[in-house]
Structure 1
């Protein structure tokens, strides 16, 4: 997964034009990709727009909810479950 592309899209979504938060945002992106691959067992594909945009949306939510105790939004939960089911179905 192209983490630089994810970072650029997260910054666009958040309206960030400077590099002031790049270190923090890049760490979030790396963490999200690592979690999805290692913990959730997903094989993220760079050329899959659905995978790319899920990583962008998940990273953006992680950044925006860093100080809250709220649960993951339902749309992200559904998309994550669909990704996991699809990945599980491909292996069977």
Structure 2
């Protein structure tokens, strides 16, 4: 993932969370990287040239950030998108 894409993902995440300052950028970058790796462990591999793949990572990272202290299942919308991506990936190989 190149620096321009990382910067774009960080901007999208901060917009989603309603954060305008740069004080937690290192933390948010770590959350984004963790979200990417966690999705890869689930079998979801994203192509960051596509907006829908970028939004999947951002939405997963935002959900992880918001629910980090709660023991709640992943949102239905996000789970459906992950399942759809798994099916798309399976169809490619």
Spell out structure 1 runs of 4+ moving beyond 2 A.
1-4, 40-43
Using the TM superposition, give the Cα deviation of residue 11 of structure 1 relative to its aligned residue in structure 2, in angstroms: 0.2
2:92 aligned partner: 90
TM-score using structure 2 length: 0.88
The TM-score normalised by the length of structure 1 is 0.89
Uncovered stretches (5+) of structure 1, i.e. residues with no partner = none
Could you list the per-position Cα deviations for residues 49-69 of structure 1 after superposition, in whole angstroms to 9, with x for gaps in the alignment?
111111111111111111100
Of 59, 63, 66, 2:68 maps to: 66
Q: How many residues align?
A: 90
Q: CA RMSD in A?
A: 1.2
**Which of 4, 8, 12 is the matching residue for 2:11?**
8
Unaligned runs of 5+ in 2: none
User: What is residue 31 of structure 2 aligned with on the other side?
Assistant: 28
User: Alignment partner of 1:83: what SS?
Assistant: helix
